[in-house]
Amino acid sequence: MTLAVPTSHSFLVSEEQSVVLFPTQAELTVAQAAQILDIPEGGILEMLKIGILECRQEGSQRLINRDRLFEYKRDYENGMVALDEMTRWNQETGLYDD
């Protein structure tokens, strides 16, 4: 895998500080998406297959919209937080204890 480093742009914030910005890619490869979600590439391919994620095909490469991927990641993480809260509440109340 080759890493392409984009040209940076530096902006002066004050006389003492400047900020360096790198443009981001609008689309990510399956490998990049797998790294972001911390799952195997096969998991990304399965998500594409069943429609959880969408992609655009360019030749043999599948390209995934970066914003949609981060939206999915945020929604997934929020769902896990809610599930953890429900589990904690259930354990505290003993709702399902015999």
State the CATH number of the domain containing residue 79.
Answer: 1.10.1660.10
Task: Determine, yes or no, domain membership for 44.
Answer: yes
pLDDT at 1 over 90: no
Task: Determine, yes or no, domain membership for 29.
Answer: yes
Domain that holds residue 38: 25-90
Task: Determine, yes or no, domain membership for 39.
Answer: yes
> How much is the pLDDT for 28?
94
Task: Determine, yes or no, domain membership for 51.
Answer: yes
pLDDT digits (tens, 9 = 90+) for 27-71: 999 999 999 999 999 999 999 999 999 999 999 999 999 999 999
Task: Determine, yes or no, domain membership for 48.
Answer: yes
Alpha carbon of 11 to those of 23, 42, 53, 79: distances in Å? 13, 40, 35, 37
**Of 68, 41, 75, 35, whose CA–CA distance to 53 is shortest?**
68
Task: Determine, yes or no, domain membership for 9.
Answer: no
Are 69 and 35 in contact by the 8 Å Cβ rule? The answer is no
User: Mean pLDDT, the chain, as a whole number?
Assistant: 84
Task: Determine, yes or no, domain membership for 5.
Answer: no
pLDDT at 23 over 70: no
What is the tally of structural domains in the chain? 1
95 — pLDDT class (breaks 50, 70, 90): confident
Are 31 and 41 in contact by the 8 Å Cβ rule? The answer is yes
